[in-house]
Each structure stands twice: as C-alpha cells, then as structure tokens.
Amino acid sequence: MGILQWLRGSESDPSVADGAGDSDTVRKIVGELEAMPPERARYVAAFAYILGRVAHADRYFSGEETGAMEDIVRRFGDLPEELSVLVVQIAKSQNRLFGGTENFLVTREFREISSPDERRHLLDCMFAVSAADDSISTAEESQIRQIASELGFTHREFVQARLAYSDRREVLRPFREKG
C-alpha cells in the first residue's frame, strides 16, 4: 500500500489496521499520536514533516530551527512538550532518510486534508522555522517556494508571506550591510 492510501486511512486494505506496508515518513509520528483522532494525527504528522523539510533544506537542522519546530508543533498540535519533541525528532529523522522520495507525497496529502487557512498558517510557520536562527538561506527559501507551489499558493501569495521575514533573508544581507 502506498503512503496516500495509508494517510487517507483506507479501510479497504486490511493491512492498514496493523500498519503493514505503511510509509515510515508519517506512520511513526502517527503511531505516537494514537490518543488523537486519526485525521488530526495525520494532519500533525504531515505538518511536522513539512516543517522538517524546510529546516533540512540546507542539509542541517540548527538548534534554533529544531526548537522552533518543537514549539510550533506543541502549540499547534496541542501536545505536551515531550510528545512534541518526539514528533519533531521523528519528522527530522524521516526527512534525513526519505526526504527526496516522500516530500511531494506528504505535501500533496497535506494540501488535500487541510483548509486554505491551515495552509496559510503552515506557510507562515515554514518561514518562522527557517528564520529561527536569524538567517533564511537561499536553499530554505527555495524549498519554501517549492512547497508553497505544491500547496497551491501563487507567487504573489508566497512573496506576501515572505515580506515579514525580509530582514532575515541571506540573499539580501549584502545590500543591508552596504547601506
């Protein structure tokens, strides 16, 4: 079974119940969130994974980015601190191991299970995570742009969200330092 059937909670495949064949990308996180309704757990898992995708765009998770992810997942998922730490650690691990193959699939699934307001919130959170270390690298900015496109945002909407973080964009630092 593919990740999409599992994320959607397909009842037609009996392996869904025991987890056989599931993608590790979200399954591990969802397994830790059993107390939540399954739809909400999938949503939080995908949300955390996408934040990890941004933080790992430059192939490095800074302590500040990790802390921001934990705080956002804790507040947004209404999770206890220790569970949000675990969710973020699993999301980071899955990004390191399977990022290239799972990125588009998880993001597409998030688009299908979220509202426009929830996607807008995610876009803002992606910028917050990438700016947590006071620097949005060009790789992170490019990754956010890619994800924004996958989520259905126009370029104008992306630029509008990015405006709040202009002072942290690496690409603009040389111009600020000269002025």
Range of the domain at 108: 3-178
The domain tally of the chain equals: 1
Q: 164 or 15: whose pLDDT is higher?
A: 164
Q: Are 84 and 160 in contact (CB under 8 A)?
A: no
pLDDT band for 129, please (50, 70, 90 cuts): very high
* DSSP element (H, E) containing 20: none
- Determine the pLDDT at residue 19: 41
60: left (phi over 0), alpha (psi -120 to 50) or beta: beta
Burial of 137 (0-12, 13-18, 19+ CB in 10 A): middle
- pLDDT value at position 26? 64
Q: What tokens were used for 132?
A: 């947590």
Please give the mean pLDDT across all residues of the chain: 84
CA angle 122, 84, 158 (to 5 degrees): 10
Residue 7's pLDDT band (cuts 50, 70, 90): very low
Find the mean pLDDT for residues 76-81: 88
